Amino acid sequence: MLASGMLFTLVTLVIVCTAILLGINEARKGKQPQIRPLAALQAIDEAIGRATEMGRPVHFSAGVGNLTVRGAPVMMASLSFLSYIAEKSARMDCSLIVTVAQGDVYAASDEVVRGAFLRAGKPELYQPGVVRYLSADQYVYAGGIVGIINRENVAVNIMIGHYANEALFIAEEAHHAGCMQIAGTTNEYQIPFFVAACDYVLLGEEVFAAGAQLSQEPSELGAITGQDFVKLFALILVLLGSISATFGSSFISRLINR
Amino acid sequence: MSTSFDTWVAALITLAMFSLAIYKENPVYRLAEHAFIGIGAGHAIVTGVQVIQTSGINPLLKNAEYRLLIPMFFGILLFARYSKSYAYLSRLSMSLIVATGAGLGLRGAVQAQFLNQISATFLPLNSINNILIVVGFVTGLTYFIFSTRYTRYLNGKLSVVPRIGRCFLMIAFGASFGNASMGFLSMLIGRVLFLVRDWLGLSSLR
Whether residues A210 and A229 share a domain: the answer is no
Q: How many CB pairs under 8 A join A and B?
A: 185
Set of chain A residues whose Cβ sits within 8 Å of the Cβ of B115: 8-9, 12, 256
Helix (H, G, I), strand (E, B) or coil at A41: helix
Contact B98 A108 (CB under 8 A): yes
Whether residues A180 and A231 share a domain: the answer is no
Contact A68 B144 (CB under 8 A): no
A243 within some domain: no
Domain of A230, in residue numbers = 1-33+225-238+250-258
What are the b/e assignments for B167-177, b being 16+ CB within 10 Å? ebbeeebeebb
Judge contact between A81 and A162, C-beta under 8 A.
Answer: no
- Counting the structural domains of chain A, the total is 2
Whether residues A229 and A207 share a domain: the answer is no
Judge contact between A211 and A41, C-beta under 8 A.
Answer: no
B156 dihedral zone (left: phi>0; alpha: psi -120 to 50; beta): left
A150 within some domain: yes
Set of chain A residues whose Cβ sits within 8 Å of the Cβ of B94: 104, 107-108, 111
Residue of B200, B51, B15, B37 lying closest to A140 (CA atoms): B37
Whether residues A189 and A77 share a domain: the answer is yes
Report the pLDDT value the prediction gives residue A43, as an integer from 0 to 100.
93
A131 within some domain: yes
Domain boundaries, chain B: 5-106, 109-199
A10 within some domain: yes
List, for residues B14-46, the tens digit of each pLDDT value.
Answer: 999 889 888 888 899 889 888 988 888 888 889
Whether residues A186 and A59 share a domain: the answer is yes
List, for residues A164-187, the tens digit of each pLDDT value.
Answer: 888 988 999 999 899 999 999 998
Return the residue in B88, B121, B147 with the most chain A beta carbons within 10 A, the one to mutate for interface testing: B147
CA dist B23 and B12 (Å) reads 16
Whether residues A131 and A190 share a domain: the answer is yes
Whether residues A113 and A142 share a domain: the answer is yes
Whether residues A10 and A58 share a domain: the answer is no
Q: Say whether residue A206 is in contact with chain B using an 8 A CB cutoff.
A: yes
Contact B173 A33 (CB under 8 A): no
Whether residues A73 and A135 share a domain: the answer is yes
Whether residues A101 and A120 share a domain: the answer is yes
Please check the confidence at residue B58 and state whether its pLDDT lies above 90. Answer: yes
CB count, 10 Å around CB of A119? 14
Whether residues A143 and A68 share a domain: the answer is yes
**Poorest-pLDDT segment among A75-89, B91-105, B131-145:** B91-105
CA dist A258 and A3 (Å) reads 10
Contact B123 A110 (CB under 8 A): no
In chain A, where do the E strands start and end?
Answer: 58-63, 96-100, 131-133, 156-162, 180-185, 200-203
List, for residues B78-132, the tens digit of each pLDDT value.
Answer: 888 778 788 889 888 888 887 887 777 666 677 777 788 888 888 999 899 999 9
Report the pLDDT value the prediction gives residue A203, as an integer from 0 to 100.
93
Q: What is the pTM of this model?
A: 0.83
Contact A231 B144 (CB under 8 A): yes
Judge contact between A104 and A66, C-beta under 8 A.
Answer: yes
pLDDT band at B204 (very low <50, low <70, confident <90, very high): low
Starting at the earlier edge strand, list the strands of the sheet with A200-203: A131-133, A96-100, A58-63, A156-162, A180-185, A200-203
- What is the average pLDDT value for chain A, to the nearest integer? 89
A140 within some domain: yes
Whether residues A178 and A63 share a domain: the answer is yes
Contact A241 B122 (CB under 8 A): yes
Among A110, A111, A143, beta carbon nearest to B33:
A143
